[in-house]
């Protein structure tokens, strides 16, 4: 469904919950107990698909999980729609209905509908916006039904609503044994609050003690890069101060983060300079060419392209150079994988 530049909220959500164990923790936290009793949670699979189109990708992300029902032979889909707008979408139920219909259509086309029936889809809305929201979790409430005689014509379903900023401390405490989920929820709950600076040291300590240095360090790097981009209350210097005042030796992660932030800043500037230079020489660039330049993650390659472009008279030749850089990057990733 096209490509788009991920927001920091979407990137973090997918980075955390495309992991099966974290996805399981999320399901166990969000779905009601009577439903969970019927599910074989060891069978959870994270599907490599999305139903969010290009026009809505700035506001929504999604995650499709499939789970077997105990006893075998039947599966249930859990469709998680993550809303990362600052204000809530009243008609989010309409988005869910659209995505559910697309999912069921795929089931018919790939012949995964069993027994001549479509699979049950459990829709879940995960909200992390800053404004309070009483979600209308029944679709029929969104339809103007003139009288009782018309109700049969209005489709109806309900969805589970998980309001992260609106969580109380008791609900957050219930997730404490699911360490990565707890870290994620605690950060998003306090993301736009001065409280975030106070709770981070304890969260870091718990993550390291539960996961060990290597895994903990990797995840802390992911979370810290998110925090400095998304929170109004914590910057890079605050992160370094927090790490200096903990009992763990963070020299390795501190150096890695500092280098990452520096390179990210240089990369963004280098991409902008290259785009401006190319537009000066060749006129307005097509959207796909601009997006290809945005995908380049090597300062060295950007610098080489900059030098070549100064001597280049052909847009097609420039386009070919960009494509070769991306192909080279893909080969390197494939070899490393």
Average pLDDT, stretch 148-153? 92
Q: Could you tell me whether strands 75-83 and 120-127 are parallel, antiparallel, or unpaired per DSSP bridges?
A: parallel
User: What one-character-per-residue DSSP string does 272-316 give?
Assistant: HHHHHHHHHHHSSPPHHHHHHHHH---HHHHHHHHHHHHT---HH
Range from 30-34, 234-238, 308-312, 317-321 carrying the lowest mean pLDDT: 234-238
Q: What distance, in Å, lies between the first and last C-alpha atoms of the chain?
A: 25
**Predicted local confidence at residue 202, as pLDDT:** 86
**Predicted local confidence at residue 335, as pLDDT:** 54
pLDDT, averaged across the chain: 84
Sequence-ordered alpha helix ranges (H) in the chain: 8-17, 20-30, 33-36, 92-109, 169-174, 179-189, 195-211, 213-230, 236-244, 251-282, 287-295, 299-310, 315-336
CA distance 206 to 201: 9
Cα 179 to chain centroid distance, Å, stands at 18
**Predicted local confidence at residue 67, as pLDDT:** 96
CA distance 99 to 81: 9
Q: Which 8-state DSSP code applies to residue 68? A: E
For residue 87, how many other CB atoms are within 10 A of its CB? 11
User: What is the enclosing helix (H) or strand (E) of 153?
Assistant: none
Most confident listed range (73-82, 85-94, 258-267, 321-330): 73-82
Sort residue 294 into left (φ over 0), alpha (ψ -120 to 50) or beta. alpha
For residue 298, how many other CB atoms are within 10 A of its CB? 16
- pLDDT bin (cut points 50, 70, 90) of residue 96 is very high
Q: In the predicted model, is pLDDT for residue 28 greater than 90?
A: yes
Average pLDDT, stretch 292-319? 86
How large a percentage of the chain has pLDDT more than 70? 87
- Contacts of 241 by beta carbon, 8 Å cutoff, 6+ apart: none
**Predicted local confidence at residue 98, as pLDDT:** 92
- pLDDT bin (cut points 50, 70, 90) of residue 1 is very low
**Going edge to edge, which strands form the sheet with 75-83?**
39-46, 60-69, 75-83, 120-127, 160-163
Sign of the CA dihedral running 275, 276, 279, 285: positive
pTM of the model: 0.71
Q: In the predicted model, is pLDDT for residue 228 greater than 50?
A: yes
Task: Answer whether 110's CB lies under 8 Å from 102's CB.
Answer: no
How large a percentage of the chain has pLDDT more than 90? 36
**Predicted local confidence at residue 149, as pLDDT:** 94
User: What is the enclosing helix (H) or strand (E) of 138?
Assistant: none
Most confident listed range (102-111, 130-139, 252-261): 102-111
Average pLDDT, stretch 149-165? 92
- Contacts of 232 by beta carbon, 8 Å cutoff, 6+ apart: 192
């Amino acid at each position: 469904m096209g490509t788009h530049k991920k927001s920091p909220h979407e990137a973090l959500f997918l980075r955390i919950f495309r992991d099966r164990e974290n996805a399981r923790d999320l399901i166990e936290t969000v779905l009601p107990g009577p439903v969970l009793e019927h599910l074989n949670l060891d069978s959870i699979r994270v599907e490599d698909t999305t139903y969010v189109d290009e026009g809505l990708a700035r506001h929504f992300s999604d995650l499709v999980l499939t789970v077997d029902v105990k006893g075998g032979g039947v599966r249930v889909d859990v469709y998680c729609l993550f809303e990362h707008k600052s204000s809530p979408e009243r008609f989010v139920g309409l988005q869910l209905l659209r995505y559910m219909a697309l999912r069921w259509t795929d089931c018919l086309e790939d012949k995964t509908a069993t027994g001549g029936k479509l699979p049950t889809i459990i829709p879940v809305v995960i909200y992390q916006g800053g404004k309070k929201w009483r979600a209308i979790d029944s679709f029929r409430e969104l339809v103007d039904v003139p009288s009782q005689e018309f109700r049969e014509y209005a489709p109806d379903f309900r969805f589970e609503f998980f309001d992260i900023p609106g969580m109380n401390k008791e609900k957050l405490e219930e997730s404490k044994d699911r360490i990565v989920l707890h870290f994620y929820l605690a950060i998003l709950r306090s993301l736009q609050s001065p409280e975030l600076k106070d709770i981070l040291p304890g969260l870091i300590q718990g993550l390291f003690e539960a996961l060990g240095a290597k895994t903990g360090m990797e995840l802390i790097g992911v979370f810290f890069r998110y925090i400095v981009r998304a929170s109004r209350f914590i910057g890079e210097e605050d992160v370094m101060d927090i790490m200096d005042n903990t009992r763990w030796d963070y020299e390795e992660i501190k150096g890695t983060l500092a280098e990452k932030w520096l390179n990210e800043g240089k990369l963004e500037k280098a991409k902008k300079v290259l785009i401006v230079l190319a537009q000066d020489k060749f006129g307005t660039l097509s959207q796909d060419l601009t997006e290809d330049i945005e995908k380049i993650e090597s300062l060295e390659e950007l610098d080489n392209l900059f030098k070549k472009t100064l001597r280049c008279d052909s847009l097609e030749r420039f386009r070919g150079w960009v494509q070769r850089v991306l192909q080279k990057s893909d080969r390197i990733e494939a070899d490393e994988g």
